Chains A and B, each alone.
Chain A
């Protein structure tokens, strides 16, 4: 279980998250929707361990263990995977080299041996085929010159390879056309499993047509202000966020 309790986060003295509480159960797909500036991306970065954020109070627990003191790589090894809204370009590092380094680093952290090169090639090729990723792309420097859709598919490919316990998708739908959205959503749906939870952060309801959430949370001003079923997303699509941000005016 991924539990976030009373999380307070500041950036350069400015409060972004104000006592946020959230639970993602194994096997569950939880969506977080909210207006711009509500703190959605901050939440995803804080879970993954980016250090530009001051956590002033609260806890993030995986199966009861607080991960806030852990480095990003330790959190990854503990099963956290963040699919970035803006995947970073890394010139000079071949995608294949990066994939192998990350897979083996996580295996080592779990006390497993490195995956052999033939095994690695096989699993990468299989995962790439499912996501319609051109094998030639794997030889290119990571994310360099990739289109928006290619970058997002590469994120999902990484998620498939690393098989995390909790996948956090930060605005994965942004910049995707409908075909790319379908492929990416298909990739996520294929990874849905009893022992794996997802936190799908999105601004629009559209993504949730393809990735059906079990629960929808509405976030505003650094807190979860409403929790409901998948229907809540439809209601938002109709009425907008104004009911939830009224006190901001």
Chain B
């Protein structure tokens, strides 16, 4: 008999007032009992709608059945057939628009907390010591450019098949957006480094400080004996609004702000990398990155942090949980509000952000209602720091240094459904192809490309 409790089993979190002042993980995770109880809520529908909602098609009801029975190792095995980074996905996937959106339990009450159970199963697995068997080498070399979700997944899949894989990472630490973008309190870096250690144990080599396109080109890699190259360079280029005053001191791109905090550890006392300790912060945007930036600003000691977003609550693209957590911590949501100018003082330091009120009109191309300016509604919000979290686009470096690599006008690399680019032997996946998307989609693309690369090399 399924557990007919209509709401999700509560996941413990750090109390909002306390966590808003530290960088420790907010959600504390399930206990074994919690996980069993929640997994038992699954109805095991014949048509398995949740599986179709998962970008990598994890056999969700199967792992839930194992978890409900307390067979957590077996549950892990089910997940790991489809996903290579479950401890990460359990934390950062937007489950409410994917698997959980399709859950029949969600019609009357809350869907099964699939993400929370996935997280528990993965963490429990990771707590134990595991001996990774190094696969039999097959003698073929593949290069992976970028060590974010797509690159890590692609490298892992290939290594398991026996390929000699080298990852080239531009920064000094592997992990891509998982280390420079997503903050510690949402995704502890120890979890990311564990996944990376797992890859190393599989024999994957990681070369940091390697900006491909500058230090070496994709063609150099192919000439150096790599039979195939996977490009997973993400979408790292920040967008700005192109409004007046954006060059004032105190205006950050979310990328810069988060990189200083997360990658460079600027939040720690005595860190070498500086960060502005602002009093009143406006974060422009409504996605996960905006929530991350706002919550980091709060933790750095700001008195007031606002999310400034031109659409309404319904349209916020961030994960529901992040929005809830941000609200609990005291982030102010100024919705239907759009900045028109950053106002600087005589020293060009941010003094305020001038905004207009918006109202929602007809749906636009994205299907969301288009925000329209309310005439005469301009007002000034006094702030000393503005963080622009407006999305990112792919870095043009690879494109500009790889002859014959076709890209879209906006910079995304053109591939077929298996990740093959216009250049033979060169594959791509993740945000570099799709533009800014999710960790799980990037992982899926890395996995698909790994199999296409395997097929390509075998057929040579």
A and B part of one assembly: no
Partner-A contacts on B (CB < 8 A): none
Partner-B contacts on A (CB < 8 A): none
